[in-house]
Amino acid sequence: MPGGIAAGVRIDVADGRITGVTAGAPRAGTVLAGLTLPGFANGHSHAFHRALRGRTHHERGTFWTWRERMYALAARLDPDSYYRLARGVYAEMVLGGYTSVGEFHYLHHAPGGKPYADPNAMGEALRQAAADAGIRLTLLDTCYLAGGIGVEPDEVQRRFSDGSAAAWASRVAELKEDAGFRVGAAIHSVRAVPADQLSEVDSERVVHVHLSEQRGENEQCQAAYGRTPTELLHERGVLTDRLVAVHATHLTPADIGLLGAGRARACFCPTTERDLGDGIGPARALRDAGVRLGVGSDSNAVVDAFEETRALELDDRLASEERGRFTAGELLEAGTDHAAVGWPEAGRLEQGAAADFVTVGLDSVRTAGIEPSGVLFAASGADVTHAVVAGREVVRDGEHRLVDRPETVLAKEIEALWQS
């Protein structure tokens, strides 16, 4: 709870909200044995990348060579197959401890860039997939206009582009929110949105952007604009307290200062950043500068809220050669920052907050004998025994109640995609 770990806690829920939290209460109602935490927030996901898991690990190369495999996958998806794949991915997320997800969505149109009859058919597929899997979804609808600075989109990238930021905004305006679905915005990167259109990508909720994930991005931005990507966003008025900088790996000290002064957020995706060889971002320096941190599963090479959250500390240990870079409280705050994806009412076990929480068993081979305060360093997503989202029990005794055998769903759909 906000005051720390307590025993014998009763959580009363009505209409998707927590109506009361009482410590030292007698057991009654649904008994959750273990340690109950606020649900985790997945700040950055590309659901369709899940189909690459275990299929690219053996390849040498860089992020840019991996991207070619990702583009080949993107070319195979349509609204129906995207729904089936995403439903399995979102079910895996709840099983792994997440109760909300920000989907960085740029796969908008049919092959060649032709709009579907419903221009938001792909986004609607994601909405339905999340609803059926029982997770809160913020569709971070992404503006993606260019194949690089001054470069037209290629054949695959035409699926991503609306042609202009104004056309992007017009399409996004047709999306309607509901109880479990919200709409945010995203700038794919300073490579994919021309500088003179950056300020046109906006949202009343949050605006996400891939920022300095690769050194090549920084070099291209410097060559074209004479500025770092962060400096360009600042110059164009995009760097505000609604901005979430995803990755934020290769930053200068000046970049860190600008992000802190703007009260921005940074979303680290450690398991993907490891998988792609991106590098280790300056998490502690950003936090010290006033930047609020969060985590995301990004490519979904790993879907495990505990692994992603503790990696903030463990990766920073590698970079600094020091231990104790973050307190357990700071890590939990980062892992449960639902405001970063437009759900500020979630992430706390207190009266009035959204009734989103997960229970971790303390009797597995991973958690047996630990101090409960060390759960983020010991548990994995496999230790989640129960998950409640908006007051509804989505996971019970480690089994997803809405999607039967998600592993079978994923295996079938991924195999079909690669055979198509």
Q: In terms of Cα–Cα distance, which of 393, 389, 338 is closest to 41? A: 338
Judge whether 108 counts as a catalytic residue: no
Residues facing 185 on adjacent strands: 141, 207
Judge whether 247 counts as a catalytic residue: yes
DSSP 211-235: ES-SHHHHHHHHHHHSS-HHHHHHH
**Section 319-328 average pLDDT:** 96
**Structure token digits, residue 55:** 């299929």
pLDDT of residue 304: 98
pLDDT of residue 334: 98
Residue of 141, 255, 298, 383 with catalytic role:
298
Look at residue 366 and tell me whether its pLDDT is greater than 80.
Answer: yes
Look at residue 401 and tell me whether its pLDDT is greater than 90.
Answer: yes
Look at residue 59 and tell me whether its pLDDT is greater than 80.
Answer: no
What is the chain's mean pLDDT, rounded? 96
pLDDT of residue 384: 98
Residue of 247, 338, 386, 400 with catalytic role:
247
Percentage, residues of the chain above pLDDT 70:
100
Catalogue the E-assigned strands of 252-365: 265-268, 292-295, 357-360
pLDDT of residue 67: 83
Residue 358 burial (10 A CB sphere; 0-12, 13-18, 19+): buried
